[in-house]
Chain A
Amino acid sequence: MSAVAVHQFAQCITCHAWSPDHSMIALCPNNSEVHIYRMSEDKWERVHVLQKHDQIVSGIDWSSTSNKIVTVSHDRNSYVWNLEGSDWVPTLVILRLNRAALCAQWSPQENKFAVGSGAKTVCICYYEQENNWWVSKLVRKRHNSSVTSVAWHPNNILLATTSTDGKCRVFSTFIKGVDTRDSKTSSSSDTKFGEQILQLDLSYSWAFGVKWSPSGNTLAYVGHNSMIYFVDDVGPSPLAQNVAFRDLPLRDVLFVSEKVVIGVGFDCIPMVFAADESGIWSFVRFIGETKTPSSAPKYGSQFSEAFGKFYSQSKYGVNNDGTENSRQRGGIHQNCINCILPLKEPGVSMVRRFSTSGLDGKVVIWDLENQDDLFQ
């Protein structure tokens, strides 16, 4: 498990997205533009700059089959970009939001996309063929605070959202005319649009980074209290597990397979969580570490370690946290990692490579070559 490639694109990257063949990357360098880079002969060159937003672009998603890019920004607007010839042409999406948009994701079938916003609502947008534009439907009255992250279930109907009120909610987003009523999905009989299927109140701090497992059976999201929550059998009687870890909180997670999750956040190194045969999730290790740290006995020494640092700092002044930080700022990312995306090879169900981008302006591609012990 190592970093295969490190690319420095800007001083700070808010979010990124890959083209379907992974040859181009779209990213936001912490301003109102989206830059698209293409890899040519081992070098990245900037091929397009999409300039339509007035404020920072907070979410980018690139659909893999229809090759469309959706961008959402803090200026309450969203554009769907289509490649026509060699230019990207924007189409405004009327989101009807009155606050900033925070995140966006295409649905698995790419006929809809979801936008989470600071207006405490989630927008589901779909394409109306008659009028030739994107229409939005809002899910109101459910969230108590900003919606930080959205994730689609593989069945294209269920949507999970996390919010700064600490709760994770699952909604049905069935839209007549866009979705087909399937016998499989009618197990959740309340297929009305905006119906809340489930509300998880596991975290007492802000929740971020929700993702479904590839089969849609498990949900994972992180809380700002340095905990990651796994929910199995999402439905009327979910089974929830909390995993607490001793380091800084995470910002985003990724399901590499049904049983392995990678989390990224303020620690600047991806963390691996895995479920064993009985389904119990636990923290395995940081990427790149050779031995697995045992979490329980360290709590005692962590306290005395913290005390030691506190005292020595006050006596000698500077930089004993230089040594502590050199473990966490392991070399590759220098600042918080914001975004983790899979680099899926077509035909392979397990994700072997993924990319992370962070506030240090780097995009790092990781490969899980030697970690077959995680995939049993």
Chain B
Amino acid sequence: MCLQNFPCQEVERHNKPEVELKTSSELILNPILICRNEAEKCLIETSINSLRISLKVRQADELENILTKKFLRFLSMRAEAFQVLRRKPVPGYDISFLITNYHCEDMQKSKLIDFIVQFMEDIDKEISELKMSVNTRGRLVAAEFLKQFI
């Protein structure tokens, strides 16, 4: 994660994350796509002053689809609290991080990387926990409801 402060070449006095703009091709590096299987992938795009990591989380059935979407939307809406989170995921993915040189100046690189890895694991855990709790609740409610017919 070697990012540095780099003023915008296109607009004077501006400093923008080059990975979002993509106007100067020489400032962007090749993106890397890491796939665990067809359903889960991770896209890492870098540039001279910013880095974008996009994740696609495994969604096995309809329920997980809905849960993932709602849960990640909840997190993305509160992106200011996370600082490195992007408000909208990159199209084709579920959640995106945008790390700029300012984050690297304020925070330690190793801690940023740890945070992202931890986040990825937590998402998986949370989704499966949510799914389990939805199923449990559904079962309980259904059992209660059907009791009256016994």
A74 to B7: give the CA distance in the assembly, Å: 7
Give the contact stretch, choosing among B58-66, B77-85, B104-112, B134-142. Answer: B104-112
Taking CB atoms, residues of chain A closer than 8 Å to B13 are: 54-55, 74-76, 100
- List B residues 103-134 near A (Cβ within 8 Å): 104-106, 108-110, 113-114, 117-118, 121
Q: Does B27 contact A (CB under 8 A)?
A: yes
The answer to whether B105 and A12 touch across the interface, beta carbons within 8 angstroms, is yes
Q: Does B38 contact A (CB under 8 A)?
A: no
The answer to whether A145 and B27 touch across the interface, beta carbons within 8 angstroms, is yes
The answer to whether B27 and A335 touch across the interface, beta carbons within 8 angstroms, is no
A251 to B104: give the CA distance in the assembly, Å: 15
The answer to whether A335 and B104 touch across the interface, beta carbons within 8 angstroms, is yes
A318 to B114: give the CA distance in the assembly, Å: 7
The answer to whether B104 and A359 touch across the interface, beta carbons within 8 angstroms, is yes
> Please, how many residues of chain B have a CB less than 8 angstroms from a CB on the other chain?
26
Taking CB atoms, residues of chain B closer than 8 Å to A334 are: 108
CB closest chain-B residue, reference A205: B29
The answer to whether A248 and B110 touch across the interface, beta carbons within 8 angstroms, is no
CB closest chain-B residue, reference A55: B13
CB closest chain-B residue, reference A248: B2
A265 to B4: give the CA distance in the assembly, Å: 11
The answer to whether A145 and B9 touch across the interface, beta carbons within 8 angstroms, is yes
Q: Is the interface of A mostly helix, strand, loop or mixed?
A: loop
B47 CB, nearest partner CB in chain A, Å: 10
- List B residues 1-30 near A (Cβ within 8 Å): 2, 4-9, 12-13, 15, 24, 26-27, 29
Q: A313-B117, A321-B113, A359-B104 are in contact. Are A102 and B2 (CB under 8 A)?
A: no
The answer to whether B2 and A336 touch across the interface, beta carbons within 8 angstroms, is yes
- List A residues 301-340 near B (Cβ within 8 Å): 313, 317-319, 321-322, 325, 329, 334-336, 338
The 8 Å CB contact of B5, one of A14, A75, A249, A317, is A14
> Please, how many residues of chain A have a CB less than 8 angstroms from a CB on the other chain?
45
The answer to whether A145 and B7 touch across the interface, beta carbons within 8 angstroms, is no
Q: A74-B13, A164-B26, A164-B48 are in contact. Are A317 and B105 (CB under 8 A)?
A: no
Taking CB atoms, residues of chain A closer than 8 Å to B105 are: 11-12, 30, 335, 359
CB closest chain-B residue, reference A99: B12
Q: Does A23 contact B (CB under 8 A)?
A: no
The answer to whether A118 and B4 touch across the interface, beta carbons within 8 angstroms, is no
A115 CB, nearest partner CB in chain B, Å: 13
The answer to whether A118 and B48 touch across the interface, beta carbons within 8 angstroms, is no
The answer to whether A317 and B118 touch across the interface, beta carbons within 8 angstroms, is yes
B45 CB, nearest partner CB in chain A, Å: 16
A98 to B12: give the CA distance in the assembly, Å: 6
The 8 Å CB contact of B7, one of A102, A120, A206, is A102
A248 to B121: give the CA distance in the assembly, Å: 27
Q: Does A9 contact B (CB under 8 A)?
A: no
Taking CB atoms, residues of chain A closer than 8 Å to B5 are: 14, 56, 58
B12 CB, nearest partner CB in chain A, Å: 5
The answer to whether B104 and A336 touch across the interface, beta carbons within 8 angstroms, is yes
Taking CB atoms, residues of chain B closer than 8 Å to A120 are: 9
The 8 Å CB contact of B117, one of A11, A249, A251, A317, is A317
CB closest chain-A residue, reference B13: A75
Taking CB atoms, residues of chain B closer than 8 Å to A54 are: 13
A334 to B104: give the CA distance in the assembly, Å: 11
Taking CB atoms, residues of chain A closer than 8 Å to B114 are: 318-319, 321
The answer to whether A165 and B26 touch across the interface, beta carbons within 8 angstroms, is yes
Taking CB atoms, residues of chain B closer than 8 Å to A335 are: 104-105, 108-109
A119 to B27: give the CA distance in the assembly, Å: 14
Taking CB atoms, residues of chain B closer than 8 Å to A145 are: 9, 24, 26-27
The answer to whether A206 and B12 touch across the interface, beta carbons within 8 angstroms, is no
B22 CB, nearest partner CB in chain A, Å: 15
Q: Does A146 contact B (CB under 8 A)?
A: yes
Query: 1/0 per position for B41-71, CB-CB distance to A under 8 A?
Result: 0000000100000000000000000000000
Residue pairs across A and B with Cβ atoms less than 8 A apart, 25 shown, are A12-B106, A55-B7, A56-B5, A58-B5, A58-B7, A74-B15, A76-B12, A99-B7, A99-B8, A102-B7, A118-B7, A119-B9, A164-B48, A205-B29, A206-B26, A251-B4, A265-B2, A313-B117, A317-B117, A317-B121, A322-B110, A329-B110, A335-B105, A359-B104, A359-B105
Given contacts A99-B9, A249-B2, A318-B117, 5 further A-B contacts (CB under 8 A): A11-B106, A55-B7, A74-B15, A76-B13, A318-B114
The 8 closest A-B pairs by CB, nearest first: A100-B7, A266-B2, A74-B7, A12-B105, A325-B110, A145-B26, A118-B9, A359-B105
Point out residues on B near A: beta carbons under 8 Å: 2, 4-9, 12-13, 15, 24, 26-27, 29, 48, 104-106, 108-110, 113-114, 117-118, 121
